[in-house]
Structure 1
Amino acid sequence: MRGELGNPRLLRVLNERRLLDQLHEHGPASRADLAKITGLSKPTVSAALAGLEEDGLVHLVGEVSGRPGPVTSLYDMNAGSAHVAGIDIGRDWIRVAIADLRGAFVGRTDGRNTARSSAELATVVDQLARAAAREADLAWTSITCAVVGTPGVYDPAAGKLLFAPNLPDPDIAERLRSALEVDLVIENDINLAAVGEHAYGEGQGKSNFALVSIGTGVGMGIVVNGELYVGARGAAGEVSYVPAAEDPLDSGDLQAHGSTEAVAAAPGVVRAARSAGLDLATAKEVFSAATAGDPVARSVVEAEGRRVGALLVAVAAVLDPEVIVLSGGVGRNLDLLGDAIQSRIDELGPLRPMVVPSALGDSGVLLGAVAHARSRAWDLIFNSRRG
């Protein structure tokens, strides 16, 4: 590293990155302001801005006059100089967004996930991605990078997704790479939901928090010291495998889905409702019946809240987060689950995690994918500038 710091090209790129980071975070500024804020000399700032402007990464956005001295030029990053794609592969829906370098969506397409095989899934994702690019008046080949959120944990050595029983087959990763033909990152969907919450939702300004998603499955994304934490092999947050107080009757569920997921996710809620005598097909129907005052549905929902409360105490005991964000089709029903969650938390000891519903609804994974893609795009841009 010491030798690299003597490399003039590297020093130039580091200075450029510093200026662009400042403009990205705080908006337009003059050369003098940038020099004062960054500590760089005015000639260094001017040279860096000139190089960035020549390559279209910054542009002149205005001038300030009316005070002694020459007119002051204001510069800002050119958010449209590159574009990224965020892709959310859900069980029922596939969502694709094209965004600029500030995260503004310029194209979006959503489509039903009807794929029965990894080949079909890759084809559907490719079609939706290219449609989103067309909506943005962009060629798909101009996209700098794409980030895909899927269930499971991607094993780069094997090129497969692990812990993803709901996907048609685990080789989807390589099929997506072949279909999309762009720089591609594959990340766990709940990890990306945590990234989205950190960038846009209840995790903003918080260095340590957890997002627990309870929907068709159960998962957790962890942010530690402001960064996504995935563990040694990418499996941090796989709380579906945390032992539950009650195990499912089918022991196969323990291997495929994990104890907590088998009893606490949406299918487990439906099974509990049917065991209690309710002829309901979805967790949404169970919660609707509870809202309408059905006493049996309310007891099922209360039992679910107690399961969630126990899980959150386990999360708090290990991570001590500033806040736990609940998301997913089941988890976001905090108005119905909240009392039972809090009651179970109170019973289990002195830990009192703050629990709030996600602010992002169904868009959390997509927003997280875009945020991750933006960060990677900057790295790719500046790596290319280093030569």
Structure 2
Amino acid sequence: MNERLLLDHLLVRGPASRADLAKITGLSKPTVSAALAGMEDSGLVHLAGEVLGRPGPVTSLYDVTAGAAHIGAVDIGRDWIRVAVADLRGRFVGRKDGRNAAKNSEDLVSRVRELAQAAAGQAGLPWTSVITAVVGSPGVYDKDADRMIFAPNLPGWEGSGLGDRLRTALGVDVTIENDINLAALGEHAYGAGHGIANFALVSIGTGVGMGIVVNGELYVGARGAAGEVSFLPAPEPVPADDDTLRHGLTESLAAAPGVVRAARAAGLHLDTAKEVFTAAAEGDPAALEVVHAEGRRIGGLIVAVASVLDPELVVLTGGVGHNLALLGDAITSRFAELGPLRPRVVASTLGDSGVLLGAVARALSQAWDHIFDLRQSGVQPRQSGVQYGMSR
């Protein structure tokens, strides 16, 4: 417990002396010295420098050995797969992005393994140096059935045995989480949601989803489906065929494919939502109308969210959602029409790294728990030759 307490302070504050750590934690100096010595012997901390010029003995500074172990982060989307390897401070040391051209779940798992090994290789590491990996995917993971549900955009991804296939392919402990939930964790740890106790992240891209942070913690609901706003009632008539119901009425209208359909109905011969927003930015009147209508849909969605959650902040992300400069006026006007609930709305600044950063935040917590479980059981890597997390 003393070691974990000291390590947490080093992770947050950076290099510190034994005297500073004793003052911050309230532990005695002998206790701090003994705990640091144990962690230094195991390679978890190291002597980071010395402070000179003060009266008395030279002051030694200790810091976390960030490269003592590594974690994996995976973001699986319909169009892209992104894999990163990070050190114990959460810094990316390797990353590989690749197109998702998989036709079935076996192809997809194979592609994830390929990119994972490439990301580790970029960092000059074997993938076996990774303690644990967190995988972000559209949908909700049903742990009992070992399958994803609500993931219609990924062919074959809703079949059973998904977790086992990923664990076998990656060769490490794997945690599967909804990608938008991880994006919310990424915002809370590194982005616009940092330091904010109650906020919602709304992602509008190839799909529509929401991650919820309540009192500083991710809220997922009773079955993990909290934030599945794609299934909210649509603000406009939508053909209620099987495919629309499978994706959700709101997603069918507001996600990127819906934007493209609206653009074509307006006479624009464009193939992607990105092209629609580019045309709007260039002043095309028809594209501006399509974007304005999309902004009104998003404004209505945010008011629905605000009426239930009362968030301090709403963060917009995704291929469509990040266009707040073009969507903002329509969102604001829709707020005014719907009443007094007008939460502050900002665009995410994490770009395409939001899910990966959330996966890193989740994986770091799991990695440190695992490391200290090993320490409690008496495993000493430098003596046994076993890396942390690699006792299998």
Q: Aligning the two structures, in what range does the TM-score lie when normalised by the shorter sequence?
A: over 0.9
Aligned to 2:388: none
1:73 to 2:63 alignment: no
1:246 to 2:236 alignment: yes
Aligned to 2:270: 280
Aligned counterpart for 1:225 among listed residues 198, 204, 215: 215
- Say whether the 8 Å CA contact 2:260–2:273 is kept in structure 1: yes
1:51 to 2:38 alignment: yes
- Calculate the aligned-residue CA RMSD, in Å: 1.2
Deviation digits for residues 216-255 of structure 1 (CA, Å, limit 9, x no counterpart): 0000011111111111111111110111121422422442
Deviation digits for residues 306-357 of structure 1 (CA, Å, limit 9, x no counterpart): 0000000011111111110000111111111100000001111111100000
What is the Cα deviation at residue 66 of structure 1? 2.0
AA matched with 2:81: I
Aligned to 2:344: 354
- Say whether the 8 Å CA contact 2:163–2:174 is kept in structure 1: no
Cα distance between partner residues in 1 of 2:348 and 2:204:
11
Alignment of 1:211-222 (within 5 A): 211-222=201-212
Aligned counterpart for 2:305 among listed residues 294, 312, 315: 315
AA matched with 1:325: V
| SS of equivalent residue, structure 1 residue 144 | strand
Aligned counterpart for 1:105 among listed residues 50, 75, 92: 92
Cα distance between partner residues in 1 of 2:250 and 2:164:
30
- Say whether the 8 Å CA contact 1:118–1:175 is kept in structure 2: no
Of 168-177 and 80-89, deviating more is 168-177
AA matched with 1:317: S
Aligned to 2:23: 36
- Say whether the 8 Å CA contact 2:204–2:318 is kept in structure 1: yes
Cα distance between partner residues in 2 of 1:27 and 1:114:
42
Runs of 4+ in 1 over 6 A off after TM superposition: none
What is the Cα deviation at residue 199 of structure 1? 1.4
Of 46-55 and 249-258, deviating more is 249-258
1:345 to 2:367 alignment: no
1:269 to 2:259 alignment: yes
Aligned counterpart for 1:95 among listed residues 78, 82, 92: 82
Count of residue pairs the alignment pairs up: 374
Aligned counterpart for 1:63 among listed residues 30, 50, 56: 50
Deviation digits for residues 138-195 of structure 1 (CA, Å, limit 9, x no counterpart): 1211201111111001110000001000112223333212111101111111111111
Alignment of 1:196-215 (within 5 A): 196-215=186-205
What is the Cα deviation at residue 40 of structure 1? 0.8
| SS of equivalent residue, structure 2 residue 209 | strand
AA matched with 1:175: R
1:194 to 2:181 alignment: no
1:124 to 2:111 alignment: yes
Structure 1, gaps ≥5 residues long = 1-13
Structure-2-length-normalised TM-score:
0.93
Cα distance between partner residues in 2 of 1:253 and 1:240:
13
Cα distance between partner residues in 1 of 2:257 and 2:164:
30
Structure-1-length-normalised TM-score:
0.94
Cα distance between partner residues in 1 of 2:99 and 2:279:
27
Cα distance between partner residues in 1 of 2:198 and 2:83:
28
- Say whether the 8 Å CA contact 1:247–1:259 is kept in structure 2: no
| SS of equivalent residue, structure 1 residue 293 | coil
Alignment of 1:163-178 (within 5 A): 163-169=150-156, 170-171=158-159, 172-178=162-168
Cα distance between partner residues in 2 of 1:202 and 1:80:
28
Cα distance between partner residues in 2 of 1:85 and 1:227:
22
1:366 to 2:338 alignment: no
1:20 to 2:10 alignment: no
Aligned to 1:11: none
| SS of equivalent residue, structure 2 residue 16 | coil
| Aligned residues with identical type, % of pairs | 71
Aligned to 1:10: none
Cα distance between partner residues in 1 of 2:363 and 2:258:
34
Of 64-73 and 302-311, deviating more is 64-73
1:138 to 2:125 alignment: yes
AA matched with 2:310: D
Cα distance between partner residues in 2 of 1:158 and 1:381:
29
Cα distance between partner residues in 2 of 1:319 and 1:164:
25
Structure 2, gaps ≥5 residues long = 378-392
Cα distance between partner residues in 2 of 1:101 and 1:279:
48
Cα distance between partner residues in 2 of 1:150 and 1:363:
14
Aligned to 1:157: 144
